[in-house]
Amino acid sequence: MLRIVNGEVYDPLNGIDGVVQDICVADGKIVAQVDPGTEILDASGMIVMPGGVEIHAHVAGPKVNSGRRMRPEDHRKGFVRSTPITRSGTGNSVPSTFTTGYQYTGLGYTTVMEAAAPPLEARHVHEELDDIPIVDKAVYVMMGNNYFVMKFIHEGEFSKLKDYVAWLLESTGGYVMKLINPAGVDRWKWGKNVHTIDDPADTFPVSPSQIVKNLSRVQQELGIPHPIHVHCNNLGNPGNAEVTRQTMEAVGDLPIHITHIQFNGFAKSPKNDFRSGATELAAYVNKHENVTVDMGQIAFGSTTTMTADGPWQYQLQKMTNDKWVNVDLEMEGGSGIVPYTYRKRNEVNALQWTVGLEFALLMEDPWRVFLSTDHPNGGTFRSYPDIIKLLMSRDYRAEILDQLHSRARTYSTLKEIDREYSLYEVAILTRAGPAKALGLKDKGHLGPGADADIAIYPKNSDAKEMFSNPSYVIKGGDIVFAGGVIVKDKPGRTLYVTPGYDKQLKAAIHEEFEQYYTVCFDNYPVQVDHYMPHRQLIPCTPRSVK
Amino acid sequence: MSTDSQTNDSHTGASQAVAPPTNAQTFENVICAFCGCVCDDLSVTVEGDRITKTARACVLGKAWLEGHTEESDRAAAYVDGQPASVEKAVEVASDILAKARYPLIYGLSSTYCEAQRKAVALADLLHGNVDCCTSVCHGPSGMALQSVGEPTCTLGEVKNRADLTIYWGSNPMESHPRHLSRYTSSPKGLFRPGGKKDRTMVMVDVRPTPSSKQANIFLQVKPGKDFEVIWALRALVQGRTVRESAIAETGLTLEQLEDLTERMKSCEYGVFLIGQGLTQSNGKHMNPAALFLLVRDLNAHTKFAVMPMRGHGNVNGIDSVMAWQTGFPFGVNFSLGYPRFNPGEFTSVDLLCRHEADACLVVAADPIASFPRLAIERLKQIPLIAMDAHESETTKVAKVAFTTATTGISAAGTVYRMDGVPLRAPKLLPSPYPNDEEILTQMLDRVKQLKNIPQAN
């Protein structure tokens, strides 16, 4: 039990904006009151917020691990010594598992979503998540290029599609339906891609538009807590903002989350040059309350890009001529990995930097835009404090903008935007908003019943300083971080859903499964008892769709 | 979970099909953890403490499963050759490791990931060194990946898409007997409904093998000339002129290379499958690196991939575990309190030959039977701890030896196929012996005690 006193509390889900009040903790939860004589944590001169919630990062699984295998030179730039209670690791652009958990904790983050899990290799994802300590986690399951998803859409078998999605989530210990360049990765198996939302996949002639529409309805009818989480087609190419807008239009008024919108937010000039598409896209999102987005902000410097969007990674490798990992994954998709350096004097990189910030600053409703770098694609999560400072300080933005390629000033509206985020809005952007969008009712707030996941920062006018150095981080009621170090190591939980499905599904997929997969149907599902020893079921609330 | 997994026998992890009236039990879709193929479609009959029948297993898997006995005449542990309790052996072993200045943990390719994770934890705790069999097999492929990346795929893509497969320095008929029929030579796949007639298989090797007899095309390279052949192929794929004299020493003709180039550029989906003939011959990691670059070049023309033919059942698992826990796939040193990687410096044979390692824990491997002479001599000089399911050359000379349950037969756990697909290997038989994870966990706890480190809660 613990009573946190004298802290300035920012708890947007409960409407608390910088009020000094006590926060009480018992049995891992926030409670209304604790016994007198309970241990006191004095947070005088400090800011108290719910623990941060990461809505989109690549932290665990085969693709992330190939990134680690590929970059020994990168690891040497960031290594972490063991302590009597913590494991050692390497931790630059693709931190090892233990280091990932400690580093998120060290920023005041207590929940982290793994953004792209290949179903066939879900055991690998869970084994790594089990080695990411302290933070709670969940898994986004790749579905946009899945054989059976495309087949059932092609055949107009909506109820089978729904059952299949539910079965797939349960078989993988998953939480969210993830679509990555839908139909495009399927075409990449033959070295091709899609470029509009109406281009067909190869295995079945279904388009990204059909896939997005059908799966958004499935999400609603199964009642999966978070909307379909979409990495749009044509990522990285000038003019892709158009495809992004069309993708949002395709779902009508059903919920959709567009991830790392920066990478999908480019307009183009008549000569096919890059322009920022943030203004138009933000205007669309502002008007459509069914849409949420995360920034996908870039941070200058070297990183490792990794995505299931194999064709885009091939294109990127053609530009960099650097190392290239590609994996074609039977029946389900693929992935690609390429090292990349974002440079201030590079025209496209400079514009990318403005697009993410512009978007966040133009969003009128802070509840529908979330902080992300698409770690490690745009940069690592360790750049969050810097990005928060950029959002909170017009002067700081101007200072950096002056260092960039001139096109960042002429082809984007960033320099004209005066808005500065408040601490209250930052708390929405980094914890309350993502928790709400993920349907995690016990996360992202400090009201009674919430998980006692709390970040306490020393109040500082320099937001970067403040958010880089929490005074205390509390996870599940335990003080896990204090004095700049991890003081308690413990496992986090894996959150998952089991939407339920008609058991007849097996008959509909068994024969083709056995024919075209190389593992047996019976050996495919993850044994949750073994692979998710610390887990928490999050309920689904089905909704009917007209 | 689905109905199917609920009806799984939680003890074995395999689904139970028919139980004949005797006490024999037959399990279907059983995973075989013997080699890197990790086939998961076996039928296995268990009677008492023996596997009496297998179906669909290859000659290696059949011998491994049906020949297995839980050698109950062996003690669970030995210290100085004398039977000892597991507790006592853990105490002695932990003492050796905690006192050593440069302890080495080696092997791990034939145990499951849950145990591998503990072994890496132990090395981290000891500020020691951890290395796996990869350093003497496909380590060069791992280094090639570090140098240039690796365009690859899962085995299902080979089955479903590949119309051209090229084995290089690999003899799957003897090392991975079902690899050909399941993936490359004849299977009917999604886009290869005709099976064998839809596919062309090429073997590149230094001599004819039982595998090369199965190939449509056999290319016999002179030993040590693989790199030159690959580099010439890169030039040809890029449309450059290659003089006959430049390839004179390779044993192949320009006509043969031009024919292969044409086949590679015009196929729909090509896959190289590389063995130790490529990774452990002259050129070492330069050979797979050159090949990975050739594959990259070919992707400008068609779709192409490459996959190392990993040998031991879970050697790919230990690479994965080491990579996610340390960032590096083999040969990891913790002397400075954080992971460092340098093949040649932190790889086992080198550490032993230079007389640096002063104690060694071997898990599920037999280096006394397989390492170079100088390394073996050193292993015999220093306190050696061995964990193995059977008596081995290594357990025979070890100061402390544990008899352990066998991964995939009497110990369940995760194993990674050569393409990285993870499966849960079953426990088919009861075992009187502890499993690797249990022993390693006890050692971890004991070493923490010895070092006055608080136990995790």
CATH of the domain at B104: 3.40.50.740
**Structure tokens belonging to residue A534:** 């610390």
B47 and B171, same structural domain?
A: no
Q: pLDDT tens digits for A16-56?
A: 999 999 999 999 999 999 999 999 999 999 999 999 999 99
Q: Which of B154, B157, B321, B347 best tests the A interface by mutation, with the highest count of A CBs <10 A?
A: B154
Does the structure show a pLDDT above 90 at B13?
A: no
pLDDT band at A529 (very low <50, low <70, confident <90, very high): very high
What are the Cα distances from residue A137, in Å, to A172, A303, A452, B105?
14, 23, 15, 31
> Which structural domain range is residue B157 located in?
139-308
Tell me, yes or no, whether A88 lies in a domain. Answer: yes
Q: Tens digit of pLDDT for each residue in A240-284?
A: 999 999 999 999 999 999 999 999 999 998 998 899 999 999 999
Q: Which positions 47-106 of B are in contact with A (Cβ < 8 Å)?
A: none
Residues with Cβ within 8 Å of residue A17, at least 6 apart in sequence: A10, A424
Question: Under a CB-based contact definition with an 8 Å cutoff, are residues B158 and B183 in contact?
Answer: yes
Nearest to A227 by CA among A436, A531, A2: A436
| CB contact set of B245 (below 8 Å; sequence gap of 6+) | none
Within a 10 A sphere around the Cβ of A343, how many other Cβ atoms? 15
- For residue B286, is it within any domain? yes
Is the previous residue joined to A533 through a cis bond, with omega within 30 degrees of 0?
A: no
Is B28 part of a structural domain of the chain?
Answer: yes
State residue A91's pLDDT score. Answer: 85
Within a domain: B348: yes
Same domain for B344 and B278, yes or no, is no
User: What pLDDT shows up at residue B11?
Assistant: 44
Answer yes or no: do B39 and B156 share one domain. Answer: no
DSSP H or E stretch at residue A268: strand A266-268
- Give chain B's mean pLDDT: 94
> What's the helix, strand, coil split of chain A in %, to 5?
35, 25, 40
Beta-bridged to residue A4, according to DSSP, are: A23, A41
Interface of B with A in 311-330 (CB under 8 A): 319-321, 323-329
- Of the candidates B280, B308, B336, which is a domain's last residue? B308
Amino acid (one-letter) located at B430: P
* Measured distance CA(A91)–CA(A382) in Å, rounded: 10
3-state SS assignment for residue A135? coil
Confidence label for B456 from pLDDT (cuts 50, 70 and 90): low
Q: Mean pLDDT across the stretch B155-159?
A: 98
> Are B83 and B54 found together in one domain?
no
User: Chain B within 8 Å of A152 (Cβ-Cβ)?
Assistant: no
Q: Is B455 on the interface with A (CB under 8 A)?
A: no
- Whether B154 and chain A come into contact, CB under 8 Å, resolves to yes
d(CA B417, CA A113): 26
B384-402 pLDDT, tens digit each: 999 999 999 999 999 999 9
Residue-wise pLDDT tens digits, A315-359: 999 999 999 999 999 999 999 999 999 999 999 999 999 999 999
Rounded to whole angstroms, the Cα distance separating A153 from A210 reads: 7
Claim to verify: residue B22 and residue B10 sit in the same structural domain? yes
DSSP-derived secondary structure for B106-152 = EE-TTS-HHHHHHHHHHHHHHT-EEEEGGGGTTHHHHHHHHHH--EE
| Nearest neighbour of B153 by CB, restricted to A96, A327, A523 | A327
Task: Please say if the pLDDT value at position A538 is more than 50.
Answer: yes
The amino acid sitting at A152 is F
Q: Quick check: A57 and A68 in contact, CB under 8 A?
A: no
B214–A contact, CB cutoff 8 A: no
Q: What is the mean pLDDT of chain A?
A: 97
Q: Same structural domain for residues B263 and B155?
A: yes
Are B34 and B313 in contact by the 8 Å Cβ rule? The answer is: yes
User: Which residues of A, range 479-508, sit inside 8 Å of B by Cβ?
Assistant: 489-490, 498, 503, 506
In a domain, A368, yes or no: no
| A498: closest chain B residue by CA | B1
Question: What is d(CA A88, CA A420) in angstroms, rounded to the nearest whole number?
Answer: 38
Domain membership of residue A89 (yes or no) is yes
- Strand A228-231 and strand B15-16: the pairing is unpaired
Closest CA to A346 of A410, A273, A407, A414: A407
CA dihedral A92, A97, A98, A101 (to 10 degrees): 80
Distance from CA of B316 to the nearest CA of A (A): 12
DSSP for A409-459, written as a single string: HHS-SGGG------HHHHHIIIIIHHHHHTT-TTSS--STTSB--EEEEE-
Distance, CA of A66 to CA of B128 (rounded, Å): 25
Taking alpha carbons only, the member of A258, A337, A329, A256 closest to residue A290 is A256
Per-residue burial over A373-402, b if 16 or more Cβ lie within 10 Å, else e, is: bbbbbbbbbbbbbbbbbbbbbeebbeebbe
d(CA A64, CA A116): 10
Q: C-alpha angle with apex A295: A294 to A301, nearest 5 degrees?
A: 140
pLDDT of residue B71 exceeding 90, the answer is no
Pair B213, B321 in one domain: no
Element (H, E) at B173: helix B172-175
Q: Which long-range contacts (CB under 8 A, 24 or more apart) does A463-469 make?
A: A463/A385, A463/A388, A463/A389, A463/A392, A463/A393, A463/A426, A464/A385, A464/A386, A464/A388, A464/A389, A465/A385, A466/A47, A466/A385, A467/A107, A467/A108, A467/A384, A467/A385, A467/A388, A467/A389, A468/A107, A468/A385
Please name the residue that has the structure tokens 């499966």: B423
User: How far is residue A533 from each of residues B113, B117, B386, B407, B421, measured CA to CA in Å?
Assistant: 15, 15, 30, 21, 21
Please state whether beta strands B77-79 and B400-403 pair in parallel, antiparallel, or not at all (unpaired).
Answer: antiparallel
Residue range B429-456: mean pLDDT, rounded: 93
Residue whose pair of structure tokens reads 């008549």 in the numeric block: A270
The shortest C-alpha distance from A125 to chain B (Å) reads: 10
Q: For residue B393, is it within any domain?
A: yes
With 60 as the cut, is the pLDDT of residue B5 above it? Answer: no
Dist CA A433 CA B150 (whole Å):
39
Give the C-alpha separation, B150 to B8, whole Å: 37
Question: Which of A147, A518, A532 to substitute to test the interface with B, most B CBs within 10 Å?
Answer: A518
B-facing residues of A in 110-139 (CB < 8 A) are 120-121, 123-124, 127-128, 131
Looking at the 3D structure of chain B, how many domains does it have? 3
Which structure tokens are listed for B73? Answer: 């005449």
CA atoms within 13 A on the CB side of A69: 31
Q: Which domain holds residue A75?
A: 1-111+449-491
Asked if residue A138 belongs to a domain, the reply is no
End-to-end CA distance of chain B: 29
For residue A191, what pLDDT band results from cuts at 50, 70 and 90?
A: very high
Residue labelled with tokens 């083709």: A512
Whether residue A231 is predicted with pLDDT greater than 70 in this model: the reply is: yes
Residue A108 pLDDT > 90, yes or no?
Answer: yes
User: At residue B18, does pLDDT exceed 80?
Assistant: no
pLDDT for the residue A454: 98
- Kindly write down the DSSP assignment for every residue of B298-328, as one continuous string: HTTTSEEEEEE---BTTHHHHHHHHHHHHS-
| Average pLDDT over every residue of B175-195 | 97
Q: Which residues contact A225 (CB under 8 A, 6 or more apart)?
A: A175, A438, A439, A440, A497, A538, A540, A541
Q: How far apart are CA A413 and CA A361, in angstroms?
A: 11
Q: Which residue, of B66, B90, B121, is where some domain finishes?
A: B66
How far apart are alpha carbons A67 and A339 in whole angstroms? 9
Are residues B312 and B107 in contact, defined by beta-carbon separation less than 8 angstroms?
Answer: no
Residues, chain A: 546
Is the CB of B324 less than 8 angstroms away from the CB of A60?
yes
Query: Which residues of chain A lie closer than 8 angstroms to B418, CB-CB?
Result: none
Element (H, E) at A247: helix A240-250
Q: Which of B75, B77, B81, B35 lies closest to B57 in space, CA to CA?
A: B35
Residue B422 lies in a domain: no
How many independent structural domains does chain A possess? 1
What whole-number percentage of chain B has pLDDT above 90? 92
Say yes or no: B133 and B244 in one domain.
no
Question: Does residue B23 sit in the same domain as residue B171?
Answer: no
Q: What DSSP string runs through A12-70? A: GGGTEEEEE--EEEETTEEES---TT--EEE-TTEEEEEPEEEEEE--SSHHHHHHHHH
Same domain, residue pair B320 and B346: yes
CATH code of residue A485: 2.30.40.10
Comparing C-alpha atoms, which of A134, A129, A107 is closest to residue A477? A134
SS3 A150: helix
CA–CA separation, B103 vs B111, rounded Å? 20
pLDDT at B40: 98
Candidates B159, B171, B212, B178; CA nearest to B62 is B178
State what percent of residues in chain A have pLDDT above 70.
100
Measured between CA atoms, the residue of chain A closest to residue B127 is A82
**Total residues belonging to chain B:** 457
B256 and chain A in contact, CB less than 8 A: no
Q: Do A527 and B151 touch (CB under 8 A)?
A: no
Span A118-146, average pLDDT: 98
Residues B331 and B196 in one domain: no
- CA dihedral defined by B354, B356, B319, B109, rounded to 10 degrees? 90
In angstroms, the Cα distances linking B330 to B18, B37, B143 are: 43, 21, 10
**What per-residue confidence (pLDDT) applies to B73?**
87
| Residue B181 touches partner A, C-beta closer than 8 Å | no
pLDDT value for B9: 40
Give A241's Cβ-side CA count (13 Å radius): 24
In a domain, B415, yes or no: no
Is the pLDDT reported for residue B10 higher than 70? no
Q: CB–CB of B312/B110 below 8 Å?
A: yes
B158 and B26 fall within a common domain? no
Q: What is the pLDDT of residues B272-325, one digit of tens each?
A: 999 999 999 999 999 999 999 999 999 999 999 999 999 999 999 999 999 999
- Which residues in chain A are closer than 8 Å to B117, comparing Cβ atoms? 127, 131
The ipTM (two decimal places) reads 0.97
CATH at B203: 3.40.228.10
Q: With an 8 Å Cβ cutoff, is B146 touching chain A?
A: yes
Is B456 among the domain residues?
no
Supply the DSSP symbol for A375: B
